[in-house]
Amino acid sequence: MSLAMCPLCSDDEDIEVRATLDGGRRVLRHRCGFEWEHGEPASAQRQVARSFEALRASFPKPEDVDPERLERVARLKARYLAVKPDFDPRVAAYWSKYQGVFTPEGLRACNPQILKDFANSEIGARPGNQATFNSAWNDMGDAAAAESTRSTIEYLLHGPDEVPLEERLQQLLDGTKRFAMTGFKEALLTKVLCVMRPERFLTILKYMTDAGGKREIARLVYGLELPAPESVSWTRGRLILWSNDLLRTLVGDGFANQQHSADFLWWAKGKVERSG
Q: What is the residue type of 33?
A: G
Q: What is the residue type of 184?
A: F
Please tell me the distance from the alpha carbon of residue 100 to that of residue 38, in angstroms, as a whole number. Answer: 39
Please tell me the distance from the alpha carbon of residue 210 to that of residue 233, in angstroms, as a whole number. Answer: 23
DSSP state of 212: T
For helices 67-81 and 214-222, the axis angle rounded to 10 degrees is: 110
Instruction: Give pLDDT tens digits along the chain (276 positions).
Output: 345 666 655 566 778 887 777 666 788 877 766 677 777 543 433 443 456 777 788 899 999 999 999 999 999 999 999 998 888 999 999 999 999 999 999 999 999 999 999 999 999 999 999 999 999 999 999 999 999 999 999 999 999 989 999 999 999 999 999 999 999 999 999 999 999 999 999 999 999 998 889 999 999 999 999 988 876 567 899 999 999 999 999 999 999 999 999 999 999 999 998 886
Whether 198 contacts 94, CB under 8 Å: no
**What is this structure's pTM?**
0.80
Please tell me the distance from the alpha carbon of residue 41 to that of residue 47, in angstroms, as a whole number. Answer: 9
Residue 276, judged by CB atoms within 10 A of its CB (0-12, 13-18, 19+), counts as: exposed
Please tell me the distance from the alpha carbon of residue 179 to that of residue 135, in angstroms, as a whole number. Answer: 17
Please tell me the distance from the alpha carbon of residue 194 to that of residue 90, in angstroms, as a whole number. Answer: 16
The domain spans of the chain are 1-43, 52-275
Whether 134 contacts 224, CB under 8 Å: no
